[in-house]
């Protein structure tokens, strides 16, 4: 087998669904092939991360509506019914309902764009109505949802941080001591900014400056971890 074949089997190896003989053969190859061993380490980290964070992701808001959209798409891809099969005296409504909707790419793109524009306008309109109804708006941020929004965003970003942190930890042993020290020092500078702005936001959830700094520092932290995960 070549590396490509071995890498195809890595997922099964991690899931434990291979025979002991196959496992032995792959392990022997991994001990000799650095590229495949790296691929296994990456895949293992991803699978482990997914297992550890199972159930932490937000549910789809309306599962039924989403399923309907999917089934509509599947039906649209089925072979179109023959339009000639329509009865001769059929009404325009009957013809419209039984028409095969095959769109060219520009038509399809235009319809998607139109849908997005309508969705955005409806969202804005909805937000305006909602914020006017609640009547507690300060500095562009709505009081009621503000704290939970910041914390939700922080939690989501933290999941990304955890993922990239794991990858960095795997590679850190290969770095020289000077690079490790520099990395740790700079990460602590960013962490200090994150902690400081979180502290300020806890005391004052309306603090726009701290919210901006928190977002910027978290983005910087993820970018730094991402960059150093490849080192």
**CA 162 – CA 89 distance, rounded (Å):** 65
Tokens for 126, please give them: 């909805």
The answer to the question of residue 173 lying near another protein (CB under 8 A) is no
Maximal C-alpha separation, the chain:
84
**CA 181 – CA 172 distance, rounded (Å):** 11
Q: Give the position of tokens 């089934």.
A: 71
Measured from the CB atom, the residue of 164 and 228 that comes closer to another protein is: 228
The answer to the question of residue 197 lying near another protein (CB under 8 A) is yes
The answer to the question of residue 143 lying near another protein (CB under 8 A) is no
The answer to the question of residue 114 lying near another protein (CB under 8 A) is no
With CB under 8 A as the contact rule, which of the stretches 56-64, 74-82, 126-134, 179-187 interacts with another protein? Answer: 179-187
The answer to the question of residue 146 lying near another protein (CB under 8 A) is no
The answer to the question of residue 208 lying near another protein (CB under 8 A) is yes
Measured from the CB atom, the residue of 18 and 161 that comes closer to another protein is: 161
CB atoms within 10 A of CB 135: 7
Which position among 12, 25, 42, 196 is part of the footprint of another protein (CB under 8 A)? 196
For the chain, the straight-line distance linking the first and the last C-alpha, in angstroms and rounded, comes to 30
The answer to the question of residue 41 lying near another protein (CB under 8 A) is no
The string of DSSP letters for 209-226 reads HHHHHHHHHHHHHHHHHH
The answer to whether the beta carbons of residues 226 and 166 sit under 8 Å apart is no
Minimum CB distance to another protein, residue 225 (Å): 11
**CA 17 – CA 19 distance, rounded (Å):** 7
Minimum CB distance to another protein, residue 174 (Å): 6
The answer to the question of residue 66 lying near another protein (CB under 8 A) is no
**CA 95 – CA 7 distance, rounded (Å):** 52
The answer to the question of residue 190 lying near another protein (CB under 8 A) is yes
DSSP, collapsed to helix, strand or coil, labels residue 137 as strand
Which position among 217, 218, 222, 229 is part of the footprint of another protein (CB under 8 A)? 217
Using CB under 8 A, list all residues that contact another protein.
174-176, 179, 182-183, 185-186, 189-190, 192-193, 196-197, 200, 207-210, 212-213, 216-217, 220, 224, 227-228, 230-231
């Amino acid at each position: 087998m070549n590396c490509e074949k071995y890498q195809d089997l890595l997922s099964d190896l991690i899931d434990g669904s291979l025979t002991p003989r196959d496992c032995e053969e792959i392990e022997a190859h991994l001990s000799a092939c650095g590229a495949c061993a790296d691929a296994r380490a990456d895949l293992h980290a991803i699978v482990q991360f997914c297992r550890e964070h199972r159930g932490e992701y937000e549910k789809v808001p309306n599962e039924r509506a989403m399923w309907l959209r999917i089934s509509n798409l599947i039906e649209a891809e089925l072979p179109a019914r023959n339009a000639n099969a329509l009865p001769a005296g059929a009404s325009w409504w009957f013809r419209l309902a039984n028409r095969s909707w095959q769109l060219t790419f520009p038509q399809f793109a235009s319809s998607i764009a139109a849908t997005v524009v309508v969705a955005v306008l409806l969202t804005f309109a909805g937000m305006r109505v909602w914020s006017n109804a609640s009547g507690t708006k300060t500095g562009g941020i709505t009081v009621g949802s503000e704290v939970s929004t910041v914390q939700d965003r922080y939690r989501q970003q933290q999941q990304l941080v955890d993922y990239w942190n794991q990858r960095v930890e795997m590679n850190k042993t290969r770095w020289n001591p000077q690079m490790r020290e520099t990395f740790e020092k700079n990460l602590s500078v960013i962490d200090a900014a994150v902690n400081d702005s979180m502290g300020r936001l806890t005391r004052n959830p309306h603090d726009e400056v701290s919210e901006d700094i928190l977002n910027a520092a978290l983005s910087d932290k993820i970018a730094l971890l991402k960059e150093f995960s490849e080192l």
